[in-house]
Amino acid sequence: MRNPKLAEDYYHRAAVRLKVLDMLYEERSWADVVRESQEAVELALNGLLQAAHIETPRVHDVGEALLGNLRSLPSKVQPHADKLAEHSRTLRRDRELAFYGSEDLTPGDFYREKDARAAREMAREVVRVVGLAFEADASGDLQTE
């Protein structure tokens, strides 16, 4: 059974996270910007996959699913798929480290403004591109032609 509202919900929650990123950035919470950027990307891409009727894998980096189903993606998104997958992979690597740290790494000390800025820009780009697909078709069924 397919929940037609799920794709839009994922996208909406990703867009809301962009606003949160700005607040975290202003507070200079660099590790949190990195972590929340990853979540925004994951949600946006899951929304895109759902809307395109592609099974969403239960992993934090869905880039391979995106690239493996390129022809099922909306035509406005297809030219950006490589970059979207790259952003997903890049941010996935920092997901746990930015949140939990490790015995020899404290997230608040490790991440710098440049890391947060790069992560926030990746999230903004992914949400913007995925938004093109949702704007193109308000019915929730994305056009691939």
Residue 135 in this model has a pLDDT that exceeds 70: yes
Amino acid, single-letter form, for residue 52? A
- Does a structural domain hold residue 96? yes
- Structural domains counted in the chain: 1
Here the CATH number for the domain that contains residue 55 is: 1.20.120.330
Looking at the chain, the whole-number percentage of residues with pLDDT higher than 90 is 81
Quote the DSSP letter at residue 37. Answer: H
Contact 113, 31 (CB under 8 A): no
Contact 56, 75 (CB under 8 A): no
Alpha helices in 52-80 (DSSP H): 63-68
- Does a structural domain hold residue 141? no
- Does a structural domain hold residue 1? no
Q: With cut-offs at 50, 70 and 90, classify the pLDDT of residue 136.
A: low
Output the average pLDDT for the chain. Answer: 91
Residue 41 in this model has a pLDDT that exceeds 90: yes
- Does a structural domain hold residue 145? no
- Does a structural domain hold residue 143? no
- Does a structural domain hold residue 22? yes
| 105 bridge partner residues | 102
Domain with 83, as residue range(s), is 6-136
- Comparing 35-39, 87-91, 101-105, which segment has the lowest mean pLDDT? 101-105
